[in-house]
Amino acid sequence: MPYKDPEKAKEYRKKNKEKVKEYQKEYYLKNREKVLQREKQYQLKNKEKIQEYKKKHQKEYNKSEIYKKSHRIFGWKKQGIIFHDWDLLYEIYLQTTHCDNCNCLLTYDRYFRKTTKCMDHDHSITDNENVRNILCHSCNNKRG
């Protein structure tokens, strides 16, 4: 870093983001063990502070759209759903308001699951796209 003054250093980093990023990457590759050891020491020293920070920010993150999207897609992958474009599938899922089979209005209710959205897929297909359509919970159970 060419500047010792924190303000000038900050300004330099702002102007030369790519250059700084490349330098940091090279430094990490050369000094990987040293960096990991420093991180480990910091984590041990500041365990409570880190836990408090995580607890505070985890609640906020769980409410964010990014979390909801990644959590939903992770669930689909875990269920064995295969699709070529996850972003597109998520958008289709969000825009679907009625069951593709019985045309009932799809809602979300943890206790009354009959009209909850379900991603229907063919379980026998494991090497290609297997999404069929978006159904209510009742139609998805009937289809099997």
Structure confidence by residue, pLDDT tens digits, 35-63: 999 999 999 999 999 998 888 888 888 88
Domain ranges of the chain: 6-63, 82-143
Nearest to 81 by CA among 119, 36, 42, 32: 119
Average pLDDT over residues 15-32: 93
Q: Which strand (E) or helix (H) includes residue 133?
A: strand 131-136
Q: Which residue has the tokens 């050369």?
A: 30
pLDDT at 69: 93
pTM, entire model: 0.59
Q: What is the mean pLDDT of the chain?
A: 89
What tokens appear for 116 in the block? 């909850």
